[in-house]
Homo-oligomer: A and B are copies of this chain.
Amino acid sequence: MEVGTVITEQQQRAARYAKALGHPVRMYVMELLSKQSCCYSGDISDELPIAKSTLSQHLKELKDAGLIQGEIELPRIKYCLNRENWNEAKLLFKQFFSV
């Protein structure tokens, strides 16, 4: 995604977060986490009519984008917001929408 020097670092970061949020399942997960801060993959899997492996893939994308983090708590994995990046995303979008 080489777009020269015209596009700012902030725009790139905002686009990255937006992309991660650009799917209904991931939007749902993030909204859940922003409400209750933590959850298990199974909690989501029980609600959504998608394969577990598909959900895992979505969670991985959110993790790769830095929006969530997983903590092993066997036999489950506890997913939480990555507060630092969540706050960054919040700020970037706030600025973006209030220009």
Bound complex: CA A14 to CA B30 (Å): 12
Instruction: Determine whether A99 belongs to the interface, using a CB cutoff of 8 Å to chain B.
Output: yes
Given known contacts A7-B48, A15-B26, A15-B27, what 18 new A-B pairs fall within 8 Å (CB)?
A3-B24, A3-B50, A4-B49, A6-B28, A6-B47, A6-B48, A6-B49, A7-B24, A11-B24, A19-B19, A20-B22, A21-B22, A27-B96, A30-B96, A31-B99, A34-B97, A35-B99, A93-B93
Instruction: Point out residues on A near B: beta carbons under 8 Å.
Output: 1-4, 6-7, 11-12, 14-16, 18-28, 30-31, 34-35, 47-50, 89-90, 93-94, 96-97, 99
Instruction: Point out the residues of chain B lying under 8 angstroms from A93, CB to CB.
Output: 93, 97
A48 contacts which of B3, B22, B89, B96 (Cβ < 8 Å)?
A: B3
Instruction: Point out the residues of chain B lying under 8 angstroms from A89, CB to CB.
Output: 97
Question: Is the Cβ of B22 less than 8 Å from the Cβ of A22?
Answer: yes
